[in-house]
Structure 1
Amino acid sequence: MMNDDIYYKESIQEEWHQDLSQDDSHRSGIRFARRVRLARIVGLGAMFFPVAGVLVTQFHPGGWWLLLVGWAFVWPHLAWQLSCRSPEPHSSEIFNLKIDAIIAGVWIGLIGVNALPTAALIMMIGMNMMGSGGLRLFIIGLLIVLLSSLVTLQLTGSVMTFSPEPLEWWLTLPVLVLYPMLFAWLSHQTAIRLAEHKRRLELMSTRDGMTGVFNRRHWETLLRNEYEKCRRSHQQATILLIDIDHFKSINDTWGHDVGDEAIVAITRQLQMTLRSCDFIGRFGGDEFAVIMSGTPAESAIAAMSRVHERLKKMSLPGAPGGQLRISVGVAPWGTQFGHYREWLKAADMALYKAKNAGRGRTEVAA
Structure 2
Amino acid sequence: MMNDEFYDNNENIREEWYCSLSQDDPHRAGLRFARRIRLARAAGLAGLFFPVSSALVTHSLSGGWWLLLVGWAFVWPHLAWQQACRADDPHDREIFNLKIDAMVAGLWIGLMGVGALPTAALIVTIAMNMMGAGGGRLFIAGLVIILLSMLVTLQLTGGSIAFSPEPLEWWLTLPFLMLYPILFAWLSYRTAIRLAEHRRRLALMSTRDGMTGVFNRRHWEILLRNEYEACRRSHRVATILLIDIDRFKNINDTWGHDVGDEAIIAITRQLQMTLRAGDVIGRFGGDEFAVIMPGTPAESGIAAMSRVHERLESMSLTGAQGERLQISVGVAAWGPQFEHYRAWLKAADVALYKAKNAGRGRTEVAA
Q: TM-score, normalised by structure 1?
A: 0.90
Q: Letter of the aligned partner of 1:252 in structure 2? A: D
After superposition, the CA RMSD in angstroms is 2.0
Query: Do 2:22 and 2:28's aligned partners in 1 also have CA atoms closer than 8 Å?
Result: no
Going from structure 1 to structure 2, the CA distance change for 1:205 and 1:176 (only over 3 Å counts) comes to: same
Residue number in structure 1 paired with 2:342: 341
C-alpha deviation, 1:19, in angstroms:
6.3
- Give the distance between the partners of 1:261 and 1:63, measured in 2 at CA: 68
What is aligned with 2:158? 157
* TM superposition shift of 1:49: 0.8
Deviations 1:185-237 (A, max 9, x none): 22222222222222222222221222111111111121122122222222221
Q: Is the 8 A contact 2:36 2:187 kept in 1?
A: yes
Q: What is the rounded CA distance, in whole Å, between the counterparts of 1:347 and 1:277 in structure 2?
A: 20
**Aligned residue pair count:** 349
Deviation digits for residues 44-73 of structure 1 (CA, Å, limit 9, x no counterpart): 111111111111123333332122112112
1:74 Cα shift? Answer: 2.0
SS of corresponding position for 2:163: coil
Q: Which amino acid aligns with 1:118?
A: T
Shift in Å, 1:343: 1.2
AA aligned opposite 1:184: A
Q: What is the CA-CA distance between 1:20 and the residue it aligns to?
A: 10
- 1:245-324 matches, within 5 Å, as 245-324=246-325
Q: Counterparts of 1:9-20 in structure 2 under 5 Å? A: none
Match of 2:192 in 1: 191
Q: What are the equivalent positions in structure 2 for 1:81-120 lying under 5 Å apart?
A: 81-120=82-121
CA distance in 1, matches of 2:235, 2:151: 75
Structure 2 residue 73 is the aligned partner of structure 1 residue 51? no
Alpha carbons of structure 1 residues 335 and 194: separation in structure 2 relative to 1, 3 Å: same
In structure 2, how many angstroms separate the alpha carbons of the residues matched to 1:241 and 1:51?
72
SS in 2 for 1:321: strand
Q: Distance in 1 between matches of 2:351 and 2:157?
A: 89
> Which amino acid in structure 2 is aligned with residue 183 of structure 1?
F
Structure 2 counterpart of 1:38: 39
Identity of aligned residues (%): 78
Q: CA deviation at 1:158?
A: 2.2
Worse overlay, 168-177 or 76-85: 76-85
Q: Measure how far apart 1:133 and its partner are.
A: 0.4
Separation in structure 1 between the aligned mates of residue 318 and residue 64 of structure 2, nearest angstrom: 76
User: Secondary structure at 2:240's aligned position in 1?
Assistant: strand
SS of 2:324's equivalent? coil
Give the drift of 1:153: 2.1
Q: CA deviation at 1:150?
A: 2.1
Q: Distance in 2 between matches of 1:255 and 1:92?
A: 47
What's the counterpart of residue 8 of structure 1? Answer: none
Give SS of 1:57's match. coil
Query: 1:41-80 counterparts in 2 under 5 A?
Result: 41-80=42-81
CA displacement 1:74-98 (0-9 Å, x = unmatched): 2212222222222121111111111
CA distance in structure 2 between the partners assigned to 1:78 and 1:300 by the alignment:
65
**AA of the residue aligned to 2:220:** W
Alpha carbons of 1:69 and 1:310: their partners in 2 closer, same or farther (altered >3 Å)?
same
* Aligned residue type for 1:352: Y
**1:58 aligns to what SS in structure 2?**
coil
CA-to-aligned-CA distance 1:113-164 (integer Å, 9 cap, x gap): 2111111111111111011101111111111112221222222222222221
Change (3 A) 1:255 1:61: closer
The CA distance in 2 between the partners of 1:120 and 1:76, in whole Å, is 18
Match of 1:359 in 2: 360
Within the alignment, does 1:142 sit opposite 2:143 as a pair?
Answer: yes
Deviations 1:8-65 (A, max 9, x none): xxxxxxx9xx9699x9222221221111111111111111111111111233333321
C-alpha distance after superposition, 1:310-362 (max 9, x if no partner) = 11222223322332211111111122222211111111011011111221111
Matches of 1:331 and 1:292, distance apart in 2: 10
> SS at 1:266's partner residue?
helix
Q: Distance in 1 between matches of 2:227 and 2:288?
A: 20
Distance 2:252 2:100 in 1: 62
Q: 1:211 to 1:171 in 2, by over 3 A?
A: same
Deviation at 1:282? Answer: 0.9
2:219 matched to 1:215?
Answer: no
1:350 alignment partner in structure 2: 351
**Could you list the runs of 5+ residues in structure 1 that have no partner in the other structure?**
1-14
**The 10-residue stretch of structure 1 (127-136 or 255-264) with the greater mean CA deviation from structure 2:** 255-264
